[in-house]
Chain A
Amino acid sequence: MFNAVLFILAAVALIVSWRKDREKTGKALQIAKKQLLNLLPSMLGIIGLIGLMLALVPREVIAGFLGNDSPLGIFIISIIGSITLIPAFIGFPLGASLIDAGASVTAVACFLTTVLMVGVVTAPMEIELFGKRFTIWRNLLGLVMALVIGIIMGVVLQ
């Protein structure tokens, strides 16, 4: 659905641009191509890593960690959440099933917030565009914020 809208949007924009100025449009496509070639290597690596992770770490193992509400458990969960890149349409149902299985709100909230705010596997891509300092600081701040948010949520909702 979103993809279809995106494609239509890009196509319409491209046609309008082409009618107005062919040269500029050609340049835009060159830029797009260059960006794609720049991102492709890290993208392929990241995708491969995600595949490996999903195959090697069984769901039960993740669930086991999330059921644990000790500080160490939450720390480990948050690290897992920071490293993994789970799309929202998997992450939220996973979170819901973990709550059903008896995991604490704090643990699940920490897990979900780190999944969303910190991206270790996408770091190579981020470094490629924004540099190392930016990437390290953004992710570090994200981790701290995510933990604070997760812990507050656990306190409020429990």
Chain B
Amino acid sequence: MKNQWKKYLLFLLVVIADGLLWYYYPDRGVSAITSAADYLIEMLLFIPPILVLVGLLDVWVPRKIVEKHVGPDSGIRGVVISILVATAAAGPLYAGFPVAYALLKKGCRMTNAVIFLGTWATIKIPMLMMEIKFMGLSFALLRLALTLPAIILTGYLLEKLLAGQPQADVPPAEHV
């Protein structure tokens, strides 16, 4: 129970800060609260369906399939699959966290999970379209060309760095 409360500490601090801001600078306080409310609504619009899909993935996709396609022995193919799946994703990075977590629990290789997250964060297709529109084609393509190897490198490096405690940093599965 005590732990539950600790988790809300940040939120509590923010609420207090919002309150103080609103008291001293009503304009800014209102703007802080309305933009937070906008984000909340935006998040509540895509987090629930993603979590439902994660739950379904957990109960239906057998560990063997994940292991075979993106597991420890999946090699380059596993990397390519991780990238392709993540480019089709929608929503910000924090929506990708639970998905990568579910994959890891199902036997996905650490490298591939990190590549999946990196791709989700930086080169999703809808995001690229927006980038081309605002920053221009050469900016977007150059960033893509530089980001792709960086993501893959990060995946391999992170696996090496965490190798001391293989899956240890992934909290034990609660429901397998």
Contacts and interface: CB of A to CB of B under 8 A. Distances in A.
Interface of A: 2-3, 5-7, 9-11, 13-14, 17, 24-25, 27-36, 39, 41-52, 54-56, 85, 87-89, 92-93, 95-96, 99, 105, 109, 112-113, 116-117, 119, 122, 124-126, 129-134, 137-138, 141-142, 145, 148-149, 152-153, 156-157
Contact of A48 (B15, B138, B147, B158): B15
Contact of A32 (B48, B90, B154): B48
B51 A138 contact: no
B143 interface: yes
Interface string B3-39: 0100111110111011001000000110111111101
Contact of A130 (B54, B142, B161, B170): B170
Q: What 3 pairs between A and B have smallest CB-CB spacing? A: A51-B36, A48-B14, A45-B10
A6 B55 contact: no
A133 B162 contact: yes
A42 B72 CA distance: 31
Given A47-B40, A47-B43, A149-B143, A34 B158 contact: no
A132 B169 contact: yes
B14 A87 contact: no
B131 A109 contact: no
B150 A149 contact: yes
A37 to B, nearest CB: 9
A149 B4 CA distance: 40
B169 A48 contact: no
Nearest to A13: B56
Nearest to B25: A55
Nearest to A137: B161
What secondary structure prevails in chain A residues at the interface with B? Answer: helix
A95 B58 CA distance: 39
A28 B55 contact: yes
B11 A48 contact: yes
A116 B122 contact: yes
20 contacts: A10-B50, A14-B52, A17-B56, A24-B59, A28-B55, A35-B54, A41-B4, A41-B10, A43-B43, A44-B40, A47-B40, A48-B14, A51-B39, A95-B135, A113-B143, A129-B98, A131-B171, A133-B161, A133-B165, A145-B147
B94 to A, nearest CB: 5
Contacts of A46: 10, 94
Interface in B124-169: 126-127, 130-131, 133-135, 138-139, 142-143, 146-147, 150-151, 153-154, 157-158, 161-162, 165, 168-169
Contacts of B50: 6, 10
Contact of A92 (B15, B94, B135, B147): B135
Interface in B52-80: 52-56, 58-60
B21 to A, nearest CB: 7
B128 to A, nearest CB: 9
A89 B133 CA distance: 11
Nearest to A10: B49
A146 to B, nearest CB: 8
